[in-house]
Chain A
Amino acid sequence: MGRAGWGLSPPGVLFAVLGLGALLLPFLTVAANRIVAGDGVLPWRLAAPAVTLPGTAAVMAGLLLGLPSAWPRLRFAGSILGLAGLLWLLMQGAPALLVGAGDYARVSPAIGFWCLLLILMLLMADALAQLAPGSLARGALLAAVLGTLALILWSGTLSQLSILQEYAGRREAFADAAVRHLALAFGSLATAAAIGFPLGILCHRRSSLRTTTLPVLSFLQTIPSLAMFGLMIPILGWVGDSVPGAQAIGIAGIGFAPAFLALVLYSLLPVVGNTVTGLAATPPSALEAARGMGMTPRQRLWQVELPLGLPIILTGLRIVLVQNVGLAVIAGLIGGGGFGTFVFQGLNQTATDLILLGALPTVALALVSAIVMDILVELASPTPQGTA
């Protein structure tokens, strides 16, 4: 064991090699304006050596701290140190590069930054997997990370970056898009849950319903997302035109309604499927005992089947939430709003940073949703840890 105590963590070695390699790639790009392609700048050329050295050193030190397998806390600290180094380089590099570059010049993170960001986050995830913190600790950590991120964005230290300049010109539109995106993702989740839970319970009770419903829902799931959103246009357009009052409540071929409906249809299979699986996971002997002691079907459902199936049912909601946060981007294409609006605008204008303004919040939202739902699934586990 003495030797093992000083052993190297294989993923740590991989991260260090890849990370040190990524330091040799362009860290930021400078472009004359927001459309044209820029020139890459290596990390140590961002500014004066006295400024870039602490940042590069922190990244290198962080990667090296990730090496020893026996000290997960140290590896975690290393990932924090490395991320701090990245932030330092961004903060110092962007203003320095803009000096004398012209009024329309833009600075964006380049391949080296993204690679390092990914590698350091993987290092953090790997260290966390080793530390295996409890659900509350993970929740607190997530809050801390989000708080730090909000503080950095609020402070304006990164406002020179191109993506934040795109944001600066679209504050109101961004807020609208965020609200719309959340409404699409969570609203469709809530609707799908409201339909899917009762449907799942009915499917659990009646195998004839199960054998007809699940294939239909699977079929819906196989329709490509673009085609699904496209299909909604004529269908809801017809409903809006022919049903009196439908247009008054916002039902039309384009806009929020078709996007929302498409997302609900995609959500039904995971919700219904996992509800059926979760309810069926009850040990048969526990069900037999519940019947034998005189529980009514309703009591069996609420006191035995649902509590025991809850983790699986919540896992279904997790799948739906993460999936819908991503799919809601496509709503931008049919006028449904959300972060997709920026992605498609950016694609039309070939403005990469505008695309990122839509894509990055989407990724962050999906990641946060996944982590929060994982914590909820763990808290819903019916027996204490280690005894299930």
Chain B
Amino acid sequence: MIEIDRITKTYNGVKAVDAVTMTVETGTITVIVGTSGSGKTTLLRMINRLEEPTSGEVRINGVSTLATKPHLLRRRIGYAIQGHGLFPHHTVARNIGAVPRLLDWPKDKIEARVDELLTLFSMDPAQFRDRYPAELSGGQQQRVGVARALASRPDLLLMDEPFGALDPIIRARAQDDLRRIQKALGSTIMLVTHDMEEAIRLGDRVAVMDGGKLVQHGTPAEIIAQPATDFVANMVGEVERPLRLLSLIPLCDLVEDGDAPGAALPADASLRDALAACLWTGRSAVPVERDGDVVGRVTFDAIRARAELRA
């Protein structure tokens, strides 16, 4: 558990981060979202003490981060940044093994960990281990950057706009990968982004920052359904709110008995996908399948009722 306790950062009398308090549960993804200048990156960098807080403190599993020397603290906290920050003169294996090497892991343990992570990120170790970063595509570089941040099994992974440099299609895939890997490893992740879409897609919890203050902290559904301020509502986008809400709900929540014409959608697709299918093909209901068998249908009316209910 990560506890952020009234943490404040002042630059020349201006509060970049103003008394932010929040708690991050172990094994969850918290996305900090805000416009540029909102203090979200400063907040993240105070957790591994790349910035020293002016006041307040951060506790990881009950222990204050101020109790450890900054460089020793950082070896326990993964850190992935926009543009990956890989060392251009080191191979992929050496880049991923950087933190375990700082921690003096034995050589064979580092090698095994590197191969394990490459496999986890769908990169064949034999093929990629000895390549240099410049020999990889943008998406591969980004994956190696995240693998490096996870290499020493850190208590916490901090990510600063990790997907900012990727094109939209690769970014969506990287987000899915991160979700899958986070579930597999049970990692605790704090991720900073300016993209509300990304925040809703990835976050178990979303924290919205504005002018150095934490204005709302809750589940994606809460952020969409009950925005605390006009700023949050604006970030979510007034027009897109019902669609964003629907994108959070899987079809299995609304599935009912009955037949429907046309192609079936998988049960873990979102209501937004089903709505799009209805509108596009002029159907009033779509069939739902699980493991190849049709298990029922979701109707257009049910989707509309669900969107109205919350909004």
Is A5 interfacial (CB-CB < 8 Å)? no
**Residue among A287, A289, A303, A388 with the most chain B CB within 10 A?**
A289
CB distance from A295 to the nearest CB of B (A): 7
For A287, the chain B residues whose CB sits under 8 A away are 85
| B86 A296 Cβ-Cβ under 8 A | no
Q: Which listed residue (B73, B87, B99, B134) contacts A304, Cβ 8 A?
A: B87
- Contact assessment for A308 and B88 in the assembled complex, using a CB-CB cutoff below 8 Å: yes
Given A283-B88, A308-B89, A383-B134: A293 and B74 interface contact (C-beta under 8 Å): yes
Q: Which of B108-162 contact A (CB under 8 A)?
A: 132, 134-135, 145, 148-149, 158
Q: Does B279 contact A (CB under 8 A)?
A: no
Which one of B82, B84, B132, B148 contacts A293 once the chains associate, using CB atoms below 8 Å? Answer: B148
Give the residue among B75, B81, B84, B89 with the most A Cβ atoms within 10 A: B89
Nearest-Cβ distance from residue B141 to partner chain A, whole angstroms: 11
Give CA–CA (A388, B71) in the complex, Å. Answer: 29
Given contacts A288-B81, A387-B135, contact A293 B87 (CB under 8 A): no
* A273-307, CB < 8 A from B: 283, 285-296, 299, 303-304, 307
B72 an interface residue at 8 Å Cβ cutoff?
yes
CB of A79, distance to nearest CB on chain B (Å): 36
Could you give, for residues 41-61 of chain B, a 1 whenever the CB lies within 8 Å of some chain A CB and a 0 otherwise? 000000010100000000000
Are B79 and A387 neighbours in the complex by a CB distance under 8 Å? no
Which chain B residues lie closer than 8 Å to A303 at the CB level?
87
Could you say which of A292, A294, A384 contacts B81, with CB atoms under 8 Å apart?
A292
> A286-B85, A286-B86 are known contacts. Are A292 and B74 too (CB-CB below 8 A)?
yes
Tell me, in angstroms, the Cα distance from A304 to B71 when the chains sit together: 16
Interface size on B, residues (CB 8 A): 29
User: In the assembly, what is the distance between CA of A192 and CA of B75, in Å?
Assistant: 37
B208 in the interface (beta carbon within 8 A):
no
B88 touches A383 (CB 8 A): yes
User: In the complex, which of the residues A283, A287, A294, A296 has the most CB atoms of chain B within 10 Å of its own CB atom?
Assistant: A294
Q: Is the CB of B75 within 8 A of A294?
A: yes
- Inside 8 A of B132's CB, which chain A residues have their CB? 383-384, 387
Which B178-201 residues have a C-beta within 8 angstroms of A? none
Tell me, yes or no, whether A382 is within 8 Å of chain B by CB. Answer: yes
Q: Chain B contacts of A288 at CB under 8 A?
A: 81, 85
- Specify the chain B residue showing the minimal Cβ separation from A285: B85
B101 CB to nearest A CB, Å: 9
Q: Are B87 and A286 in contact, CB atoms less than 8 angstroms apart?
A: yes
Nearest-CB distance from B59 to chain A (Å)? Answer: 19
B98 adjacent to chain A (CB < 8 Å)? yes
Chain B residues whose CB sits within 8 angstroms of the CB of A289 once the complex forms: 79, 81, 84-87, 145, 148
Determine whether B67 belongs to the interface, using a CB cutoff of 8 Å to chain A. Answer: no
Specify which chain A residues have a CB less than 8 angstroms from the CB of B82 in the assembled complex.
285
CA distance A383 to B92 in the complex (A): 12
Bound form: Cα–Cα A35–B70 in Å: 76
Report the 4 A-B pairs with minimum CB-CB distance, sorted nearest first: A289-B85, A382-B89, A292-B79, A294-B74
Residues of chain B touching chain A, judged by Cβ–Cβ distance below 8 Å, are: 48, 50, 70-76, 79, 81-89, 98-99, 102, 132, 134-135, 145, 148-149, 158
Known interface pairs A294-B75, A295-B102, A296-B71; 14 further A-B residue pairs with C-beta atoms within 8 A, sorted by A's residue number: A283-B88, A285-B81, A285-B84, A286-B85, A286-B88, A288-B85, A289-B86, A289-B148, A290-B85, A292-B85, A299-B102, A304-B87, A308-B89, A382-B88
